[in-house]
């Protein structure tokens, strides 16, 4: 039986389905299974980055567009919420108004960038988007009266989402239900809805045209499709989803600054997550975000345990302790990603699907 997620798109072989749904169940149960601030923060970031990576994969994996402006739209969403709540107070109207204004600005910028830049070659378009994103980051950093500059903006949320709000005197399965827990599940639900919307888009006639443009834009043009228009629309749709992801990040952190949502390191992380999960699969967004965020959050802790254990080993213990020192976590993180790309060149989801295709062809 082919299992589908409201999109007409088959997820893949049974092991992949089990793995993906296990991740979803683990994310949903995290507040109850792993109490504490760090696990729930990791789970929330996985949800948010899944939407962001999926929006980027719509451009890179499905349309064949290399854009470095994705973090700009991500930052616009985050700053829209942060600036609106800071200016007008911790109200639902301020949250909604900031998000809507951020969406309008992102749509306008994405459309202008698309119409004026997508006619050039892919390399030049990538450079243009990189220049625009860098200029936007510099502008935000210098507009300290509005954006808080390098320090960013801290703000409060409506009382219903405040960590100090408690809905029950007792506990549910050992967990106190607070505004923070409600905020997590609202963000998780919103991310699920947005992800399903992206699945529906890529499996619609519009999505099939994008795939045709990715495979051969000259042939798509010859068939009568206005490729520049479709690419521009893809750019706008991707920007809108990235903006919503940024807004959710700001709501979750109750803070936003240049390093939080506009850093070029986030763009590099996006590329890694797309490659790890599987380019042009969309389900790979969930897989890539899960692997990357968990590795980024817990690798340093695991290395500290390994370093302490190695230090107690005679003879070569000092050498091993130095190699696995927590200070070198970025080095080993890079090694892990190089190995994952080497053994999974099509990404994790792509590898599962290729193995199934190979098994079917061998019958």
In the prediction, which pLDDT does 61 show? Answer: 87
Question: How confident is the prediction along the chain (363 residues), in pLDDT tens digits per residue?
Answer: 444 555 556 777 888 889 999 999 999 999 998 888 889 999 999 999 999 999 999 998 888 888 888 999 999 999 999 999 999 988 999 999 999 999 999 999 999 888 776 666 667 788 888 888 889 999 998 888 888 888 889 999 998 998 888 887 777 777 888 889 999 999 999 999 999 999 999 988 888 888 888 888 788 888 888 888 888 899 999 999 999 999 999 999 999 999 899 988 899 889 889 988 888 888 999 999 999 999 888 887 787 777 777 777 766 656 677 777 777 777 777 887 788 778 778 888 888 888 777 777 766
CB 74 within 8 A of CB 222: no
Instruction: Please report which residue ranges of 262-362 form alpha helices under DSSP H.
Output: 264-277, 283-311, 317-323, 329-343, 347-362
Q: In whole angstroms, give the CA distance from residue 107 to residue 123.
A: 23
Backbone angles phi, psi at 139, to 5 degrees: -60, -45
Please give the full DSSP string across 75-91, using - where no structure is assigned: HHHHHHHHHHHHHH-S-
Beta bridge partners of 4: 10
In the prediction, which pLDDT does 215 show? Answer: 84
In the prediction, which pLDDT does 2 show? Answer: 47
Q: What is the residue extent of each domain of the chain?
A: 14-362
pTM equals 0.91
Please give the full DSSP string across 94-133, using - where no structure is assigned: HHHHHHHHHHHHHHHHHHHHHHHHTTS-HHHHHHHHHHHH
Q: Does domain 14-362 have CATH number 1.10.10?
A: no
Backbone angles phi, psi at 158, to 5 degrees: -55, 150
Q: Which of 120, 106, 104 is nearest to 71 (CA)?
A: 106
Q: Which of 97, 58, 43 is nearest to 252 (CA)?
A: 43
Q: Which of 156, 145, 151 is nearest to 253 (CA)?
A: 156
Q: In whole angstroms, give the CA distance from residue 356 to residue 12.
A: 8
Cα–Cα distances (Å) from 38 to 57, 152, 163, in that order, read 28, 22, 15
Tell me the three state secondary structure of residue 1. coil
Cα–Cα distances (Å) from 83 to 89, 96, 270, in that order, read 10, 12, 25
């Amino acid at each position: 039986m082919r299992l589908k997620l409201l999109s007409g798109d088959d997820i893949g072989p049974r092991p992949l389905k089990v793995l993906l749904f296990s991740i979803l169940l683990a994310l949903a149960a995290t507040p109850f299974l792993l109490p504490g601030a760090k696990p729930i923060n990791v789970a929330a970031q996985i949800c948010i980055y899944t939407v962001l990576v999926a929006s980027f994969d719509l451009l890179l994996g499905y349309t064949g567009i290399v854009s470095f402006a994705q973090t700009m739209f991500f930052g616009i969403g985050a700053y829209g919420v942060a600036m609106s709540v800071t200016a007008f107070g911790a109200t639902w109207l301020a949250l909604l108004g900031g998000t809507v204004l951020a969406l309008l600005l992102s749509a306008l910028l994405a459309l202008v960038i698309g119409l004026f830049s997508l006619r050039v070659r892919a390399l030049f378009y990538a450079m243009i988007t990189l220049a625009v994103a860098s200029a936007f980051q510099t502008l935000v950093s210098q507009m300290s009266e509005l954006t808080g500059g390098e320090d960013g903006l801290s703000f409060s949320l409506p009382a219903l989402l405040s960590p100090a709000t408690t809905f029950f005197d007792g506990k549910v399965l050992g967990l106190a239900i607070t505004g923070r827990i409600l905020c997590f599940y609202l963000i998780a639900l919103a991310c699920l809805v947005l992800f399903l919307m992206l699945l529906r888009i890529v499996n619609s006639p519009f999505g099939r045209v994008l795939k045709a443009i990715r495979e051969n834009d000259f042939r798509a043009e010859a068939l009568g499709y206005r490729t520049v228009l479709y690419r521009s629309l893809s750019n706008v749709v991707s920007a809108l989803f990235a903006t919503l992801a940024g807004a959710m990040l700001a709501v979750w952190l109750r803070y936003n600054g240049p390093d939080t949502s506009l850093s070029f390191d986030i763009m590099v992380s996006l590329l890694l997550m797309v490659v790890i999960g599987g380019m042009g699969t969309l389900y790979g967004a969930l897989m890539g975000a899960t692997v990357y965020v968990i590795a980024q959050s817990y690798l340093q802790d695991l290395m500290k345990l390994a370093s302490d254990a190695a230090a107690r080993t005679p003879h070569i213990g000092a050498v091993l302790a130095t190699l696995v020192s927590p200070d070198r976590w970025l080095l080993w993180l890079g090694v892990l990603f190089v190995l994952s790309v080497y053994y999974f060149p099509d990404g994790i989801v792509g590898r599962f699907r290729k193995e199934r295709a190979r098994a079917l062809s061998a019958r």
